[in-house]
Structure 1
Amino acid sequence: MIGVVYLGNNPKTEERLKYIPGQLVTTAKTYKEAAKACVPRQITHKEYFIVFFEQNVLNEDITAITYLQTNCKNIYIILLTNELSEQDRRKYQQCGVNDTISKEASVTEINKKIQFIYDRKEILFDSKEPKYKILQFKMPLWKRIFDIIFSSIAIIVLSPVFLITAIAIKMESKGPVLFKSKRVGTNYTIFDFLKFRSMYTDASERLKELSKTQNQYTRKATADNDNIPNKTSPLAEQTEPTMTPTGVGAEIMINNEEVMLVGDDFLVAESEFNKQKDESINNAFVKIENDPRITRVGRFIRKYSIDELPQLFNILRGDMSIVGNRPLPLYEAEKLTDDNCIDRFMAPAGLTGLWQVEKRGKGGAMSAEERKQLDIIYGQTYNFAMDMKIILRTLTAFVQKDDV
């Protein structure tokens, strides 16, 4: 059971919290009142409390938050704030704030936050660990030992392939043999990701233009968007809103049915905004068909996954594992930071993974959403037996059927 407590005196926030489905929200004006509201009422069942703390004066807030964390068990404090400097953020975190959310967050956003916490209550309310360090993945010892042994043997056995590939790349085009890019792996850690160069040296300059015209994931979204009506709702022009907008990001109700989000230069239904946000997340994976930026050697080494072999050195130094979720470029990873995607990064970053072998089983046809969900499933269920099955399936099906 989870109780929700609001500590603050903002009428608009109180109004939003009243409409949280299935939650009885207790309002407190002082931190001592909030502490009393967080006292468990049942002895036989564990009770957890989420405290929405309205930001005020920093020193007073620190006193209040410290008191709550000291005197209350099983609480999770969410700071309602619009903007924080890095220095203030650290101070709030050190005194016990576990999370933040915008003061203008909608009912939907608040409810999603509560549901996210509820789904992970056994972890987030573990008083033995600092809550701001909870969502951290730690590589199991068996997996790290296997990675070191496997990668070391593979590097020795494949050393002739490394040498031949390096010579072929240098003979065909100018530039370095290895390509380094910043990737985001486990726990959102950024590292230098190694590959044999398979593109011409000016490839990155043309990525922006090519991704607009040839991205196999965004074309469908573009076609769908052609059928979306203008963001400005005709309803808004005909109907008097029941709540006056308060500025950028305000929300109003029309006919007590649809929530409209109001900005400086737009008026859009909340449902439409969420749909566009989901499409943006789903299209984080940029993939170009028949990419003209790839060299002839590059096309060959990609077809047989030889371009991936330098990642054995990433594995040896601990950046990655043999099996895991593929590390993403920075611009893709930043689109996968909402609550539904966090579990993808609470798992090893890998050379091969669940969606890679599943993709080949489906003839290469797999949406970005399917890939994301398989990454999440692997992060939640991986074990030694699963890793061995993925490695065997990778070795028997490494030749890609599609030219991407």
Structure 2
Amino acid sequence: MDLIYLPQTVQKAKKIAPRATFRSYHLPQTGNFQFSGFCYIGRNSNNIMKLVELYKEGAVLEGLEKAKTELLKSVEQGKNKLPEVIVCEARFDFAVISHFNQFLRKHTVLSGIPFILDVSGLGDKDVLLYRKHARPDEMLFIEECEKEDLISKIRFLCKMKAHTGKDTAEPKIEEKSLRSLRFGPMTKRAFDILVASVTLLLLSPLFLLIALAVRLESRGPIFYIAKRAGRGYKIFNFYKFRTMIHGADKKIADLAHLNQYGGEAKGPVFFKINNDPRITKVGSFLRNTSLDELPQLVNVLIGDMSLVGNRPLPLYEAKNLTTDDYAARFMAPAGITGLWQVKKRGTKDMSVEERISLDIDYATKCNFVTDFWIIANTPSALLQRENV
């Protein structure tokens, strides 16, 4: 693919002076290829202009088939430059975008290039549909993105791709050794089913006692069922023993000023209150011992969750992460326990960045050893000092 010096072209059309070149982050050289510039698939001149101001060079194509042809031509002809990022407008059919995305992911060289879907102008329902069917590396409202935010998002995706992407120039010995430590999907699933089934059977008397205590203390259902977002933003019914008064979710707006994370001006926001007044006495005990989490073993059996993973988020929290760099944490399965629970549980000064950073670490580095280390250390993290 020939990377055109776009500022000069745009200057003739728009009569503006080109800005200085900015290279957000260079992927490691793969074979004889070097990554720089951008590839934009679509016609939105405002978005093209924004990318022009960040990069010195780039290519603009109107269709996905044309982009595929040009990318393959660049690889086959041995041209030494490929785009650092590929941005595509969400005006093409789900299946067409998904097919193009799969083409990128399966290619030895092109799999290292982040694929961003621009969803500018789309509503929430359409965005969710594109996320479900197209599965890009990231979805952004580029028209609404500040240049600094766009820079940081592209930089993050490039780093992620550099960390997880394939490199044909590197020997495969290390990759094979790491793979041998990883849970395959079938092995991890079989382990989850076995442990969840046995645990549910052994703890069934305890379930009955907890259910009785919850019902005797306060009105309302025994179980708390809520929609949560797990791996790949999959939404499912999440089960816990009820630890709050009935209708506690409706009081979130009234208690927003007590949110532990409310003082953060930028970035995603979680909702957490120390000594939450909505928690019942039985609920406080269940939370401090994490017994309220036991019904999630049912989620594990169903397949919505795993024993180890990143905590599934309420939809109002997950929504804050869909347009941010931190969406990488959703690459991991939803889990009953996880890395941040073991390392940071009960820590009052834990920031949003720390929590999501640990989630991303697990999503990108999880393996057989990590999962069992987390399981082994979970019991010591169950008793916590603060009421969360």
User: Structure 1 length normalisation: TM-score?
Assistant: 0.66
Q: Please tell me whether the aligned partners of residues 200 and 294 of structure 1 are also in contact (alpha carbons under 8 angstroms).
A: yes
Structure 2 unmatched ranges of 5 or more? 1-33, 104-108, 168-182
Instruction: Report matched runs for 1:375-386 at 5 Å.
Output: 375-386=359-370
- Cα 1:125–1:97 change in 2 (3 A) is farther
Counterpart position of 2:121: 83
Show CA shifts across 1:291-342 (max 9, x none). Answer: 1211111111111111111111111111111111000100011001134212
**2:356 partner amino acid:** K
In 2, Cα distance between equivalents of 1:101 and 1:401? 41
Instruction: Report matched runs for 1:319-398 at 5 Å.
Output: 319-360=304-345, 363-398=347-382
Choose which of 108, 111, 116 in structure 1 pairs with 2:148: 108
User: Structure 2 length normalisation: TM-score?
Assistant: 0.68
- CA radius of gyration, larger in: 1
Choose which of 285, 290, 310 in structure 2 pairs with 1:300: 285
Choose which of 205, 215, 228 in structure 2 pairs with 1:183: 228
Give the CA deviation at 1:115. 3.4
- Equivalences, count: 322
In 1, Cα distance between equivalents of 2:330 and 2:156? 16
In 1, Cα distance between equivalents of 2:159 and 2:281? 49
Show CA shifts across 1:275-298 (max 9, x none). Answer: x442xx1xx211111112111111
Q: In structure 1, the residue corresponding to 2:372 is in which secondary structure?
A: helix
1:24 has 2:57 as partner: yes
In 2, Cα distance between equivalents of 1:17 and 1:288? 41
Deviates more, 1:308-317 or 1:31-40: 31-40
Q: In structure 1, the residue corresponding to 2:228 is in which secondary structure?
A: strand
In 2, Cα distance between equivalents of 1:120 and 1:8? 25
Instruction: Report matched runs for 1:196-215 at 5 Å.
Output: 196-212=241-257, 214-215=258-259
Give the CA deviation at 1:211. 2.5
In 2, Cα distance between equivalents of 1:32 and 1:352? 43
Structure 1 segments of 4 or more deviating over 4 A?
Answer: 5-15, 26-39, 48-56, 73-82, 84-91, 93-101, 103-106, 120-126
**1:24 partner amino acid:** E
CA RMSD across the alignment: 4.2
Show CA shifts across 1:76-101 (max 9, x none). Answer: 8867674258889989x999999665
Q: Please tell me whether the aligned partners of residues 38 and 51 of structure 2 are also in contact (alpha carbons under 8 angstroms).
A: no
Counterpart position of 2:301: 316
- Cα 1:155–1:55 change in 2 (3 A) is closer
Show CA shifts across 1:129-186 (max 9, x none). Answer: xxxxxxxxx9712211111111111111111110111111111112111110111111
In 2, Cα distance between equivalents of 1:385 and 1:114? 31
**1:118 partner amino acid:** C
Counterpart position of 1:217: 261
Q: Please tell me whether the aligned partners of residues 5 and 28 of structure 1 are also in contact (alpha carbons under 8 angstroms).
A: yes
Instruction: Report matched runs for 1:53-132 at 5 Å.
Output: 74=110, 82-84=120-122, 101-103=141-143, 105-112=145-152, 114-116=154-156, 118-119=158-159
- Cα 1:202–1:35 change in 2 (3 A) is closer
Give the CA deviation at 1:108. 3.4
Structure 1 unmatched ranges of 5 or more? 127-137, 222-275
Percentage of identical aligned residues = 40
